[in-house]
Structure formats: structure tokens, C-alpha cells
Amino acid sequence: MSTAQSYITEITRAQEAERKRIACELHDETIQDLFTVITDIEEIITGNDRLSAEDTRRLRCLQSTINHVMGGIRRFCSELRPGLLDSLGLLPSLELLVEEMNSDEELDCRLEITGCQRRLPSEIELVLFRISQEALRNVRKYAVATEVIIGVDFGNRKVILNISDNGCGFAPDATLENYVHGGKLGLLGMRDRVYMVSGSFSVESEAGKGTKITAVIPIPSN
Ligand SMILES: Nc1ncnc2c1ncn2[C@@H]1O[C@H](COP(=O)(O)OP(=O)(O)O)[C@@H](O)[C@H]1O
Ligand SMILES: [Mg+2]
């Protein structure tokens, strides 16, 4: 691994550790505190028969606003670092991404699993998840697609991830480094993450013909 690549690897690991810490803090502290506020308001409402109907309505309104804020924080946590990824692994986390994509009615997003489906080393699962997350973000931002397929093929010694859309496509710059100047770090970040786990990465795209992202990652034999 070159010095630059090991530097990127260390920065990426530190960034992931920080995201995990923030997600845990928000999940275990902030959401818990907000829940206590909702319960306290409930006690005020039920334990006070002198409250006017208007006061009760306003307190109920406050509870539902806090509930809404909690929902937003939960979604943010799951984007930062889905708890599912650590507990149940890659596939349930990808299913969640697919579900979110499908909330856009114009878009049909599917997950296709082949091979012997199983848990992989956590670093590999995280790489595959982050690539899918960014690739789907790009589909939403740029592709104007009606169909996206996420394919995961579990081989004995390698796992292959494909994300293909039928959108507008683009002419990928052969040197992904060139995107850095425009502050575009998505494709480059995907590639660098794949390199961290000794895999290979490609972007195939052409105007009018959609886009296909492929990552091939070797699975270490214990
Ligand atoms: N699925 C896609 N469909 C169409 N264009 C895409 C797609 N993915 C990436 N692109 C193009 O590649 C560029 C680089 O993507 P990326 O590195 O993720 O940067 P960013 O998302 O910050 O623009 C995008 O600006 C866009 O022009
Ligand atoms: Mg992007």
C-alpha cells in the first residue's frame, strides 16, 4: 500500500469511528432525553385536571413535534452508522436503503442476492454498505432513472457488488482524481474504500445508457 493510500485508510477509519461515536451518542443520549420530555409532558396532562382544553391541545402538539424530531434524529443516525450493519449485517441494511429509495414512486429499486449469502468481515460489510449508500445518493441526485438494481454475489473467495441504473449516464473521467478539484469525492471515495480491502473498482457509464458501479472484494480465508 502506498503512503497516500495508507493515509487515506487511516483517515477513513478515524472518520468511521467518529461517525459511530456520534450516532451512538445521539441514539443513546439525545433520543433518550427527548423521550423523557415526552413522558414528563404526559404526566402533566394526565395528572392535572385543571388544565384547559387549549393547554392540553398545545401540550399534545408539543409531544408530537418532539416525536417528529426523534424520527429525524433516528434517520440521521441510521445514515451516519446503521445499527443494523453491526447487529444483523449487510443485507438487512441494504434492504433498508432499498426501501428508502422505493419511497420515490418514480423509481423501482431491487436487491438481487446470489451465491452463498453470509456475514462477511465487518470492514468489508462497511465498505459495501458505504459504496451502495453513495451510489444510490448519486442515482437520486443525477441519474433520473426509473430502475436501480443492487446485486451482491457471494462467491467462495470474493464478493461482487454491482449497482446499475437505467438513467442518463455520464462520461466518467478516466482519472477519478480529477473529480477532487470540483469537490466531488463520491466516486473517488468508493474506489479508495475498495482499495483499503484490496479489491478492484470500476465505473461504466455512457450518456443515455445508464451507469454501473462494480466492486470486487476478496474474502480473506480466516
Ligand atoms: N448514477 C449516476 N448517473 C449520472 N451521473 C452520475 C451518476 N453517478 C455519478 N454521476 C456523475 O459523476 C459525478 C461525480 O460523482 P461523485 O464523485 O459522487 O460526486 P458528487 O456526488 O459530489 O457530484 C457527478 O457529479 C455526476 O455528474
Ligand atoms: Mg456523489
Q: Whose CA is nearest to atom 18 of ligand 1?
A: 186
Of all protein residues, the one whose alpha carbon is nearest to atom 9 of ligand 1 is 138
What lies within 8 Å, CB to CB, of 179 at 6+ separation is: 173, 185, 186, 187, 188
- Are 187 and 180 contacting, i.e. CB atoms less than 8 angstroms apart? no
Please write the tens of the pLDDT for every residue from 87-133: 999 999 999 999 999 999 999 999 999 999 999 999 999 999 999 99
What is the tally of helices (H) and strands (E) in the chain? Answer: 7, 5
* C-alpha cell at position 210: 445508464
Q: Which bound ligand lies closest to the C-alpha atom of 211?
A: 1
**Mean pLDDT over all residues of the chain?**
94
pLDDT at 84: 86
Neighbours of 95 (CB within 10 A): 14
Specify the residue with its C-alpha closest to ligand 1, atom 23. Answer: 184
Between the CA of 142 and the centroid of ligand 1 the distance, in Å, is 6
pLDDT greater than 80 at residue 1: no
Q: pTM, whole model, 2 decimals? A: 0.90
| pLDDT confidence bin for 63, thresholds 50/70/90 | very high
pLDDT of residue 41: 97
Instruction: For residue 145, give the ligand nearest its CA.
Output: 1
- State pLDDT tens for residues 4-53: 888 888 999 999 999 999 999 999 999 999 999 999 999 999 988 899 99
For 152-198, what is each residue's pLDDT tens digit?
999 999 999 999 999 999 999 888 888 888 888 899 999 999 999 99
Q: Which of 67-81, 135-149, 178-192 has the lowest mean pLDDT?
A: 178-192
Taking the centre of ligand 1 as the mean of its atom positions, its distance from the CA of residue 28, in whole angstroms, is 35
Residue 48's pLDDT is what? 87
Query: 195: number of CA atoms within 13 Å, CB side?
Result: 18
How far apart, in whole angstroms, are the C-alpha atoms of residue 77 and residue 75?
5
Pocket test for ligand 1, best of 131, 138, 144 (most atoms within 8 A of CB): 138
The CA–CA distances, whole Å, from 96 to 21, 85, 99, 158 equal: 21, 10, 5, 24
Atom 8 in ligand 1: which residue has the minimum CA distance?
Answer: 138
Predicted local confidence at residue 183, as pLDDT? 85
| Nearest-angstrom CA–CA distance, 183 and 193 | 18
Residue whose CA lies nearest to ligand 1 atom number 25? 184
The predicted structure's pLDDT at residue 152: 98
Asked if residues 156 and 191 have their Cβ atoms less than 8 Å apart, the reply is no
Residue 179 and residue 185 in contact, taking contact as beta carbons nearer than 8 Å: yes
Q: How far is the CA of 183 from the centre of ligand 1 (A)?
A: 11
- Distance (angstroms) between ligand 1 centre and the Cα of 82 equals 24
Measured in angstroms, how far is the CA atom of residue 134 from the centroid of ligand 1? Answer: 9
Protein residues with CB under 6 Å of any ligand 1 atom: 138-139, 141-143, 165, 167-170, 179, 184, 186-187, 211
Q: Which residue has the cell 422505493?
A: 102
Please give the grid coordinates belonging to residue 16.
468511521
Picking from 68, 65, 83, 98, the residue whose alpha carbon sits closest to that of residue 28 is 83
Q: How far is the CA of 102 from the centre of ligand 1 (A)?
A: 20
As given in the structure block, the three cell numbers for residue 11 are 483517515
What span, in angstroms and rounded, lies between the C-alpha atoms of 150 and 112?
A: 6
